[in-house]
Structure 1
Amino acid sequence: MKWFHIESRLAWTDSLVHTGLLAGASLLISQNLAYYHPQKGKYLYLLVYATILSVIWLTFSTCLMRSIFPYKTEYYHWMIDALPVRYIIGWLIITGMGMKSLVWHELGEQRALMARKDATERMAREAELFKLRQQLQPHFLFNSLNSINALIMLRPQQAREMVLKLSDFLRGSIKREDQQWISLTEELQYLEWYLDIEKVRFGHRLSTEVSSVVEAQAMQMPPMLLQPVVENAIKYGLYDTTEAITITIRAWKEDELLKIEVRNPFDPVLQQPHRGTGFGLSSIRRRLYLLFARNDLLETQAIDNIYTTLIKVPQPNDKSSNH
């Protein structure tokens, strides 16, 4: 039996030798480009490398076949005629394997680069979030210590009570230091400790109404999110008046969001809260943006001497919250 006027044994040997060596050349360029990647002119490097390797492959295959069958003149002439076609096919296969290796490596580098970028951005966000949380504590602590100092001589019993409540508040904040999420119930408990301190400071002038629907109480939120909002409400509601005020805080679930509203009265003659929300609200806005990449999660408005702050908290398992 003959193929192209070549004996079958000779044809099979020719096929095995050329195919085997071609596979070896393809593996060689693939492995080489997996570990060596020129920074400049990599595609030119690939073309030159594939061209040289194709010449070596075809030359070695031809010489090997001539050494195995030295007296097959008819086969030798056929092999010479087939060299251009074999070279083109071999070059395409070797170049394709090299290109595959280059593309695979570039995709891997891009994935690694994106992973490093994401890790860096995540660390930067976490560092900024930590900084924002830490900035809130001294601000509140200084106010509390000043109040305690003022109460020591005039009302020592209230000063002692305020120290104990401040201790409970700080102990609770330390426990939440490493927590990224807490339930609404836990946040309201933390807020209650804070309000206990403020009520010692302001006495009967400050009262609060806190309410939450049952389905919202287990919903998650970042810790210490409400304290600066309520502190802002106390600042604009009490600091420039001698009258008593009531701050209303309510929470509910709506459209898979935890919504929390804080309302306080203010004097429009003395205060213009819509023009300057202070560090507290700006820090909350920034925290929400860092967590959810959204700028619409904190809303404020002043209508009929009532200042309203609305916070919307997407839930951690809500995939749409990051878009």
Structure 2
Amino acid sequence: MATRTWQTAWNCFREARPVVQCAFLLRYLAGALLGGPGGSLHPGRIALGAFGWFLATTAIYLFNGVADLPEDIRNGSTRPIADGRLAVETALASTGLLAAAGLVCSFALGFASGALAMVYVILGYAYSGPPFPLKKTYWSCTVTGLAGGMITYLAGFLAGGHRPDSSLLVFAGMMTLWMGGVGAVAKEFPDIEGDRSAGRRTWPIVFGVPRATRLLRLLAAGVVLVFGTLVELYTTRLLWCVVTVLVGAIAIGVTSKGLTRGESAARRRPYIAFMWTQHATHLVLGITVLATPLG
């Protein structure tokens, strides 16, 4: 019985995409670190809030896995729901439990933190669920990504319990654009066939792969340019974060060359570059904060 429970929990975690869970956790912690410079952080609050956010994010992406089942099967996904290791009914029940537990943890920090978590969960449902799944169109998908990223940074900041500063505003704003802009385009390239069969209107489907690729490169370059300018003007301690994003933008430019509809593995490379850049930039931020408190 215990073995089966752990196996179900593991399959739920796998379905919820660990690499994405890590990204949201890093965003939350970044908001907390930048909101609490010096030695005045509240580790207990941050740990409880981060755990609650992790549970809520897992619930959101687990529900998304259920909603994406037809597309995942069409795209040959090996995720637990698509390949039959995790039953849809079990996933839905787990989604409810995870969301409830995440909200309890968030409300334990205060009404504002709980309210943000509730908005976050509702947004996650609206992305995948009826009556109008926001994932259906490129513009609503992008707006959802932007909102989810900024809400996560804000929730982390509230857990830190301190006033905002230029570093928080610049980093959170630019990395939200990286997620909601660059990521929203890059993630659609590998799944064109399944998305088309499900009636989704993603960036590559609406504008074609060549134009969507050019847009991806333009967005990546734009984030680097604006990020670098703001850091130069307001918070030079984030310089190495800009350098990391610059390297990532170059990687996206290289990996997005020659994308075609018939090469699924190649079409996934820009998204991998985007995601690793996101992780690396947040880790660089953490090192920077530990080495030199931001203010």
**Could you say which structure has the higher strand fraction?**
1
Larger relative contact order (Cα-Cα within 8 Å, sequence gap ≥ 6): 2
Greater CA radius of gyration, 1 or 2? 1
TM-score (ref. length: structure 1): 0.27
**Could you say which structure has the higher helix fraction?**
2
TM-score (ref. length: structure 2): 0.28
